Structure 1
Amino acid sequence: MSRGKPREIAILNATIELLQMHGYQALTIDSVAAHAHASKATIYRRWRNRVELVKAAIDAFDQQRNESIPDTGKLRSDLIAVLETLRDTSTAPYLAMINDLIAASKHDRELAAALQVHVSDEALSPFRRVLARAMARDGLEAAGCEDLIHDVAEAMIIRQVQLERPFDDAFIFRVVDDILLPLLEIYLRPGNSLYKKDPPL
């Protein structure tokens, strides 16, 4: 690991912590530098302004989350692991931070553009990585389904949270067994079957 890497991680973690504690409007380069025990010069050498720093921080948060998702050896349990990880990281402070950034972006074009790039970054989708791994492992081919799986699962999670319904095991199993696996089955090439490789029950 390079000498700069631990310092960069500390700065990005400090940015997330301050966003969760005080919100975007209160975030400054000075406050991040103080919280991370870094100099402003160190931050400005890597990020030109607050928006670039925030985008880098939420990118890093998602990357770290995705790397924590285990390879269970089966597609069904892989998908369950993704949803469990999303549930574990969707804490009240995290959700408040996301809502605050969305609200702030309505009055900040640069922030809005940065959030759009973040949301559309395929590399940050936890489903894309897990599906690619599972398809290679199980010898299945379902090209073109990754974005749809991500969008459908995300929409169901957002609706569940907005309606203040529990993001519990029953919800996770319903999403995987009743929605995602049948949807993936449609995309499989002839001769392949998810259920032959990985029974849902």
Structure 2
Amino acid sequence: MDLVEPQRRRRGSELETAILDAAWQLLAEHGYGAFTIDAVAQRAGTSKPVIYRRWKDKHELVRAAVRQASRISRRPMPDTGSLRGDLLALADHANRERLPLAAIITVHLGSYFEESGTSPADLRDVILDGGTTVMDALLDRAVQRGEIDGARLTPRIRDLPFSLFRHEVLMTLRPVPQKVMEEIIDTIFLPLVTDDDRP
């Protein structure tokens, strides 16, 4: 007779990762409307008390799951030698790795925002967790290289390329074509942050 090996008990970060993975999968597959602590516990193979010892309610669990998913899909800062190349590389990565995250935040979490009284902007702050964005790092490096004029980088202009990127994604629900991203960078963004009088 074959012996069945008992399931190994998970603890600490391993258990927490399993719970957050289960929470993210539920959000991705069924949206916030079907998101319950019971459902997460069942999918993660754990119990409700175990989850409540780590997160006080399902709002906290949603934020933690989104933060972890964002970290997994984050890429190292590109370095192509130019701001234009870096922005195109970042957009390509976002097309391939970040669209599911964006779709869940904007489409599947509508009920969460209404119920918690928050917004996608609040969730973005949770994801950043006090850190800087890759976009900010790319722009600061471009200023140091003398490619762009740092005095022109207002907060709104800093966010402009990917605000337009997000708009394209929301309007089409598809990856943003490279020619569209090139138009955003070449005809809208770079003229705003470069010195037209430079040789």
Same fold per superposition (TM over 0.5): yes
Shift of 1:80: 1.1
Aligned partner (choices 14, 29, 32) of residue 37 of structure 2: 29
**How far apart, CA to CA, are the structure 1 residues paired with 2:89 and 2:18?**
27
SS in 2 for 1:46: coil
Structure 2 portions without partners, runs of 5+ = 1-10
Indicate yes or no: 2:71 matched with 1:63: yes
In the alignment, residue 82 of structure 1 is paired with which amino acid?
L
Report whether the alignment pairs 1:75 with 2:80.
no
Q: What is the TM-score normalised by the length of structure 1?
A: 0.71
Contact 1:18–1:32 (8 Å) recurs in 2: yes
2: CA distance, partners of 1:105 / 1:44: 21
In the TM superposition, residue 173 of structure 1 has moved relative to its aligned partner by 1.3
What SS does the corresponding residue of 2:176 show, helix, strand or coil?
Answer: coil
Residue range with higher mean Cα deviation, 48-57 or 85-94: 85-94
Structure 2: distance between partners of 1:45 and 1:144: 47
Given that residues 19 and 97 in structure 1 are in contact (C-alpha distance below 8 angstroms), is that contact kept between their aligned partners in structure 2? no
1:7 aligns with 2:23: no
Say if 2:82 and 2:142, in contact at 8 Å, map to a contact too.
yes
3-state SS of the aligned residue for 1:25?
Answer: helix
How far, CA to CA, are the matches of 2:45 and 2:56 in structure 1? 19
Aligned-pair identity (%): 31
Structure with higher Rg: it is 2
The letter of the residue matching 1:88 is: R
Q: Report the Cα distance in structure 2 between the residues aligned to 1:143 and 1:15, rounded to whole angstroms.
A: 43
Q: Once structures 1 and 2 are overlaid, which stretch shifts more, 65-74 or 26-35?
A: 65-74
Instruction: Provide closer, same or farther for how the CA distance between residues 162 and 98 of structure 1 changes in structure 2, counting only shifts above 3 A.
Output: closer
- Give 1:22 deviation, angstroms: 0.8
Are 2:123 and 1:118 aligned?
Answer: yes
Quote the residue 1:199 is aligned against: none
- CA positional deviation for 1:103: 4.5
2:152 and 2:123 map into 1 onto residues whose CA distance is 20
Q: Unaligned 5+ residue runs, structure 1?
A: 197-201
Counterparts in 2 of 1:67 and 1:160: CA distance versus 1, 3 Å: closer
Question: Does the Cα contact within 8 Å between 1:23 and 1:100 map onto a contact in 2?
Answer: yes
How far did 1:42 drift? 3.4
1:47-196 counterparts in 2 under 5 A? 47-91=55-99, 95-96=103-104, 98-106=106-114, 108=115, 110=116, 112-113=117-118, 115-120=120-125, 121=128, 123=131, 125-135=133-143, 138=145, 142=150, 145=153, 147-164=155-172, 167-185=176-194
Query: What is the distance in 1 between the residues matched to 2:43 and 2:82?
Result: 42
Question: 1-side partners of 2:72 and 2:141: how far apart?
Answer: 17
Deviations 1:3-35 (A, max 9, x none): 733333332222221101111011111222222
Instruction: Go from structure 1 to structure 2 and tell me whether the alpha carbon gap of 1:119 and 1:54 turns closer, same or farther (over 3 Å shift).
Output: same
TM-score by length of 2: 0.71
